[in-house]
Structure 1
Amino acid sequence: MATICGYVGPDLFAGPIEMFYDWHTENGPATDLEVDRIDVDCQGTAASVRVELHNWTGHRFTDFFTLVRIDGQWQIMSKVFYLHPE
């Protein structure tokens, strides 16, 4: 049900979240990943999360997640990312 969207250089990377899972399977985990900041805003059954990531395979990303609480569990509905220029 979740989606992903963002640009990798000039190319739009958008579609079902399985696209990210496939990329992760091919490229492996980011072993030196550093989380710089996490901001959470929650209202009832809806939430948004912003995460600043450094050294995701050598790159800096800002990720934005939207979540909804379904049957008592938080579910990510979308991930929108920004890949910072080097």
Structure 2
Amino acid sequence: MNPIDRKNLASATLLGDYRTMSRVALAQRAILSTLRDSDLELGDFRRDGLMLALDELAGLLEERAGFLEEEGLVGGGES
């Protein structure tokens, strides 16, 4: 990959990451609001749904991080 291709990919990736992180943050705040609602009874159905939603959000962020690493735009490693 030449430097111009890498720069274009990096710019597009940053925009995609921005959108992904914004959507994940909004979804997580909605889940937090639901969990903080003391008037809401959390049965198994709701609890399972919230856990599934959080798992999907985490998976989405992991996919983005994996893409960045695969494309060589960031170094690997756990923090």
Same fold, TM-score > 0.5, yes or no? no
TM norm structure 2: 0.24
Larger gyration radius, structure 1 or structure 2: 2
Q: If the length of structure 1 is used for normalisation, what is the TM-score?
A: 0.23
Q: Which has the higher helix share?
A: 2
Higher relative contact order (CA 8 A, sep 6+): 2
